[in-house]
Amino acid sequence: MIALFDRLYVHTEVFPTDFSKWLRRAFDLRTRCDYGTTVTITTEETAGQIQHASRLLTAIREECERIINSS
């Protein structure tokens, strides 16, 4: 899914490359938490992930609105 997001939206410069990095980091953390035996995620890391997710969702919402309004 992340590769497809990159191909459709990051490589075409709809969204910045930071979004891809954030998605990959969040996926890595989730995978480590799901399958790791001892994983420690700091409060700062959690806050950063929440901030990135919020920015990503806002940008996606704005892009969807732009597409709808241009139709």
% of residues, the chain, pLDDT over 70: 100
pTM of the model: 0.84
Q: Could you tell me which residues come within 8 angstroms of residue 36 by beta carbon, excluding any fewer than 6 positions away?
A: none
| Whether residue 37 has pLDDT greater than 80 | no
Residue with the bigger pLDDT between 15 and 34: it is 15
Residue 37, domain extent:
2-70
Alpha-carbon distance 1 to 52, whole Å?
Answer: 18
pLDDT tier for residue 36 given thresholds of 50, 70 and 90:
confident
Helix axis angle, 17-35 to 43-70, nearest 10° = 130
Query: Could you report the per-residue pLDDT of 2-17, keeping only the tens digit for each?
Result: 999 999 999 999 999 9
Nearest CA to 24 among 5, 44, 40? 5
**Joined tokens for residue 43:** 């409060």
